[in-house]
Amino acid sequence: MAKHEKFRFKSADELRAKSRELGIELPWSDSVDLLLQPAVIQGIRVPNRLTVQPMEGFDSDENGMPGELAFRRYGRYAAGGSGMIWFEAASVLADGRSNPHQLMITDETLDQFKKLTQHIRNIAAEKYGPDHRPFLVLQLTHSGRYSKPGGDFQAKIFSDNPILGVPHTRQPIPDTRHPIPIFYSDSDIDAVKAAYIHGVELAELAGFDAVDVKACHGYLLHEMLYAFDRSDSRYGGSFENRTSFLREVLNTPSKIIKAVRLSGFDLIPYPNGFGMKNDGSDVIDPLEVKKLISEFAPIVPLWNITAGVPRLAAHVGRPYDRGAFNAPPPDEHPLIGIERLIRITGELQRAFPGLSFVGTGYSWLRQYFPNVGAGILEKKMATFIGLGRSSFAYPDAPLDLMNHGKLDPKKNCITCSKCTEFMRLNVPAGCGVRDVQYKAGGQNGR
Ligand SMILES: Cc1cc2nc3c(=O)[nH]c(=O)nc-3n(C[C@H](O)[C@H](O)[C@H](O)COP(=O)(O)O)c2cc1C
């Protein structure tokens, strides 16, 4: 296993030499033009291929209302020129919030969401003209075993997963009478499903182009995908049952475009993870991932591929230099993790060329992500290039690419995990290195 290493490359040649040394084929293009080409999703034009990945800001009020910091954050993305803005997780139910300040999409917050989508469109149109209309996606969530509606864990668990255990201890679940976790019954899941279906309708009313029925990162809908142990439930056991929640929500008659952010693999062996070979090894096997995409392809044109359960192993989905709170580095070079994400997304995009896939996990590449991203587009290994932490740090990266054809290294995300620390500390999250709003430690202006 290649050792973890911080990003110290002084040139593209050094980075590419390192990937060759690691035996990795990193897609690459010297021209970044492809990133600035428009695309079309179900008849709606997306002005370019650069996508802001969903990044929670934890700055709503107690009702989940987007506030000043959310308007600031999304205004910066709009001014920065990204073609697609994938909104952060918005909870469909108060007790499924990951944090007391997570956004919620409800009847009460609807008007404020309408103002926010309009705000984004106005800023983009003013700056780039009427042809540049960012494609807006709202991510719906229920945090399941990672719910912290009042600030402390109040896990809602569906699968008795010995690897994930109780979230704050990572111990096997000790006793079902313990106040936490709460084990969800089928009728609890039915209630969550009704809230999701309402969330889809609200997303359409709020002016989003698409709605993401999030199934990743160990949250409730992802947990159902690996609930192999719950053959006693309508939502567990067989593939049919494990995907039935998604099926019912995605088949709602609402006209809004449907999307799914999906963990393409977990690196948690079967039967405790999704997208893995069913022999209990740590080998990735997209058999069920492909089956799921193939079934939903006629109704879901947009897929955003990520991986893993961040609470267990954050580097799997977001390779970094420094882990949150100086966690010991993983036993893996960040380029290996990036290549794994590129490979699965590429395999899926090539298997389903008529669908649009957003790739994930490029922030560690700093000023070279555009070359890798354009290389990925050239090889048809994704349709959109998504940026998470980099969007916090450097929201106007697309604008710099339009104006100069390259990025300014001084504005890069340095993958220091400060934004993750803010999230864990229940304070507003943003870039504590590049964004003056958060340099004081994320406490400013909720
Ligand atoms: C502070 C923070 C908040 C995040 N919030 C979300 C979220 O709301 N929904 C989601 O699907 N992923 C979320 N992610 C994951 C990112 O969308 C993205 O997948 C990850 O950071 C890897 O991409 P990157 O290398 O460009 O940062 C979050 C990550 C961080 C660090």
Q: State if residue 419 touches ligand 1 by the CB under 6 angstroms criterion.
A: yes
CA pair distance 250, 297, nearest whole angstrom: 11
Q: Is 66 helix (H, G, I), strand (E, B) or coil?
A: coil
Query: Rounded to whole angstroms, how far apart are CA atoms 89 and 96?
Result: 11
Structure tokens at 137: 């996606």
Q: 215: closest CA among 166, 144, 156?
A: 144
- Ligand 1 pocket, 261 CB below 6 A? yes
Q: How many whole angstroms from 174 Cα to the centroid of ligand 1?
A: 30
187-196, pLDDT tens digit by residue? 999 999 999 9
* Closest C-alpha residue for ligand 1 atom 3: 55
What residue's CA is closest to ligand 1, atom 2? Answer: 55
Atom of ligand 1 nearest to the CA of 423: 1
Which domains can be identified in the chain, with CATH numbers? 12-439 (3.20.20.70)
- Specify the DSSP class assigned to residue 327: P
Rounded to 5 degrees, what are φ and ψ at 317? -100, -20
- Which amino acid does the sequence have at 435? D
pLDDT given at position 175: 53
Q: How far is the CA of 414 from the centre of ligand 1 (A)?
A: 15
Q: Name the residue at shortest CA distance from atom 12 of ligand 1.
A: 54
In Å, how far are 307, 318, 425 from 361, measured between CA atoms?
9, 5, 23
Joined tokens for residue 116: 């926010």
Within 13 Å, how many C-alpha atoms sit on residue 158's CB side? 34
- In this structure, the residue with its CA closest to atom 21 of ligand 1 is 388
Q: Which residues contact 240 (CB under 8 A, 6 or more apart)?
A: none
Q: Which of 50, 52, 55, 92 to mutate to test the pocket of ligand 1 (most atoms within 8 A of CB)?
A: 55
Is the C-beta atom of 360 inside 6 A of ligand 1? yes
Closest ligand 1 atom to residue 417 Cα is 31
Residue among 430, 421, 138, 439 at smallest CA distance from 304: 138
Chain segment 113-158, per-residue pLDDT in tens? 999 999 999 999 999 999 999 999 999 999 999 999 998 888 999 9
Write the CB contacts of 198 (distance below 8 Å, at least 6 apart in sequence): 92
**Which is nearest to 372 in space by CA: 19, 52, 10?**
19
Instruction: Give the atom of ligand 1 at the shortest distance from the alpha carbon of 139.
Output: 9
| Residue 262 CA, distance from chain mean position | 8
Ligand 1 center–CA 73 separation, angstroms: 14
Does the C-beta of 366 come closer than 6 Å to ligand 1? no
Q: Which of 142, 135, 139 lies closest to 222, judged by CA?
A: 142
State the Cα–Cα distance between residues 370 and 99, nearest whole angstrom: 33
Protein residue with least CA distance to atom 18, ligand 1: 388
Q: Round to whole Å and give the CA distance between 363 and 382.
A: 16
Q: Are strands 44-46 and 39-41 parallel, antiparallel or unpaired?
A: antiparallel
Q: Report residue 35 as tokens.
A: 């990133």
pLDDT in tens, the chain (446 residues): 689 999 999 999 999 999 999 999 999 999 999 999 999 999 999 999 999 999 999 999 999 999 999 999 999 999 999 999 999 999 999 999 999 999 999 999 999 999 999 999 999 999 999 999 999 999 999 999 999 999 888 899 999 899 998 776 666 655 554 456 888 999 999 999 999 999 999 999 999 999 999 999 999 999 999 999 999 999 999 999 999 999 999 999 999 999 999 999 999 999 999 999 999 999 999 999 999 999 999 999 999 999 999 999 999 999 999 999 999 999 999 999 999 999 999 999 999 999 999 999 999 999 999 999 999 999 999 999 999 999 999 999 999 999 999 999 999 999 999 999 999 998 999 999 999 999 877 554 44
What is the C-alpha to C-alpha distance for residues 353 and 77, in angstroms, rounded to an integer? 28
Q: What pLDDT is recorded for position 365? A: 98
Q: With a 6 A CB cut-off, is 146 part of the ligand 1 pocket?
A: no
Contact by Cβ (8 Å): 52, 376: no
Q: What is the pTM of this model?
A: 0.97
Distance CA 330, CA 136 (A): 34
CB-ligand 1 contact for 318 (6 Å cutoff): yes
> What's the mean per-residue pLDDT of the chain?
95
Q: Is the CB of 387 under 6 A from ligand 1?
A: yes
Which residues make Cβ contacts (< 8 Å) with residue 285, sequence separation at least 6? 275, 276, 277, 278
